[in-house]
Amino acid sequence: MKAPLFAIYVTLAVVIAVVLFVLIPSQEPGDARPDVLDEQIMLVMDAFAVDSCEEVRVVGSYKRTDAEGFRQMLAYSAPMPCVEAMREAAIARGFAEGRGGTYVLENETAPEALTFYTEPGATRGAFEWERTGQ
């Protein structure tokens, strides 16, 4: 008796999933709306009080919210002068240098980490900003 009921539930779940994927239009991965990208750029520039950065691009983002709070990671590509300005701004905000290009702000309610990726002689670098909170 339990097996046929289980099969019905599984079949119903598959049908609902197929209908949702077919009927609900979705964007291709990586096709973020320009206004969202602009917001993500302004968020990091405002948080670190860096207004001299030009040609900053969002190259990745992740956000999860649950009962424990939120966790967000944003990755950016930027010209080297901007990457250096971000590093200086992180130190000015109280970030402490850690391992592998990571700077950490220990805040019990909202810890943050900023990781820099650079190569000698490169014209562009990258940085990731990870933050959590309630």
pLDDT tens digits in sequence order for the chain, 134 residues long: 455 555 555 554 444 544 444 444 444 444 556 677 888 888 898 989 988 788 899 998 888 888 878 888 999 999 999 999 999 999 999 999 988 889 999 877 788 999 999 999 999 999 999 988 77
pLDDT of residue 21: 42
51 DSSP 8-state letter:
-
pLDDT of residue 79: 94
pLDDT of residue 3: 53
pLDDT of residue 62: 85
Of 1, 20, 24, 2, the closest CA to residue 12 belongs to 20
For the beta carbon of residue 128, count every other beta carbon within 10 angstroms. 18
Say if pTM beats, i.e. exceeds, 0.85: no
What amino acid occupies position 6?
F
